Structure 1
Amino acid sequence: MITVGPLTKTIQPADYCLQAYSPYWRAKWVKQWRETKADKLDKKINVIIKDIKKAAPKVAELVAEGERQAEIERREWEAQKEQWRKEKEERRIAKALKDSTDELFSLMSLCLLLIDIALIEPFAWILENPKLDKSIKVGSLTCLAIGFHFDLLCS
């Protein structure tokens, strides 16, 4: 008899149970033997042993299947990780290419600015100056045209 607070419960022989199970989480197997008034557990020992021996190949099969399933899942996980690694590498390459292209365009813009400041503006000033000789102006115009052509090629 068990007493918990004001409640009292009597455990009957039918409340006893022996349970065997597979300790492997991938191999689900459980077998129970219940005691009844007419059939005590101690008298079932030979039956219980036979049942467990009979179940052993089935449990071994379940364990082997669980290991096969675990190997399949491991391979799938490895394949997924490899796919993620490839995608990450592709993103890294794309970013490096974009960064490199942006830097190249930035340098080209700087070069064009320097050409404009160092060459085109002085040649334009020569062409606009009325005091300079005509041959100097023709030479300046030629240099200006070449610089403009270079400017177009770079942009």
Structure 2
Amino acid sequence: MVYIDGQSLPVHEARILNPGLWDRRTKTTYTKSVLPAPSGRLCLKAYSPYYRVEWAQTWTEDDLRLSKKIDEIVSLLISAASDLKVLLSEANKKAEEEHEQWQVARAIFQAEQQRLVIEKAREDSLKSLLKIIDRWSESRKVDDLFDDIVARSASLTERERSEILAKVKDARELIASPDSTEALRLWDSPPPLPSE
């Protein structure tokens, strides 16, 4: 192709229109291009519309018009149809196998995710229970301390004993011992272990 006066022309047409371009004496320059350009010939392309079946056939007009090749094209398409049917059934089988493999992998992934969620819930539940036990243990220590103080105050005078018991009462109200049964009732029990 040659670009002359704003249009691309085949080289043989450009030589006819402007023979001076190839005259070495005038040294006229022109731009050559190897990009595809319309040739004026018809082209017919048949291909498989199925995603997994790759098949294509192209017919281009050369000396004969495509209309004269119709019988040949039709017979070729009919013979290719049986081959395409086999290729399509193989592609469908392969697609089904891949889908089954994907479903198995997905089921394994989901089971693993579910197992991880259950393990995390059990771990969180254990931590929560241990916190309840720690609070109860601290509460018991405080109660034991106050009980010991009350027991020792028996040997004191009535006035000293009433002062100590008042302080113990104020201290117990300040600390407010948690109710262990209420804490256990509010605790989230863990889900069962996942089955293997």
Return the TM-score normalized by structure 2.
0.56
What does residue 147 of structure 2 align with? 122
CA shift, 1:90, in A, is 0.7
Matched, 1:112 2:110: no
Question: Does residue 97 of the first structure (1) align with residue 122 of the second (2)?
Answer: yes
Matched residue count:
125
Computed over aligned residues only, the root mean square deviation of the Cα atoms, in angstroms, reads 2.4
Q: Distance in 2 between matches of 1:118 and 1:8?
A: 102
Whether 1:35 aligns to 2:66 is: no
Of 91, 99, 102, the residue aligned with 1:66 is 91
Query: Which structure features the higher share of helix residues?
Result: 1
Aligned residue type for 1:6? G
Please name the residue that 2:6 is paired with: 6
Q: Report the CA distance shift for 1:119/1:71 in structure 2 as closer, same or farther (over 3 A).
A: same
> 31, 51, 74: which is aligned to 2:76?
51
Report the secondary structure of 1:32's partner residue: strand
Query: Deviation at 1:122?
Result: 3.3
- Counting aligned pairs with the same residue, the percent is 26
Q: For residues 87 and 116 of structure 2, what CA distance do their matches in structure 1 show?
A: 43
Is 1:18 the equivalent of 2:77? no
Partner Cα distance (2:9, 2:46) in 1: 26
Partner amino acid, structure 2, of 1:95: K
User: What are the ranges of 5 or more consecutive residues in structure 1 without an aligned counterpart?
Assistant: 133-155
**Structure 2: any 5+ residue segments left out of the alignment?**
11-37, 157-196
Looking at structure 1, the residues matched to 151 and 116 of structure 2 have their Cα atoms a distance apart, in angstroms, of 51
Q: 2:6, 2:108 → 1: CA distance? A: 63
Classify 1:109/1:52 alpha carbon distance in 2 versus 1 (closer, same or farther; 3 Å): same
State the TM-score, normalizing by the size of structure 1.
0.70
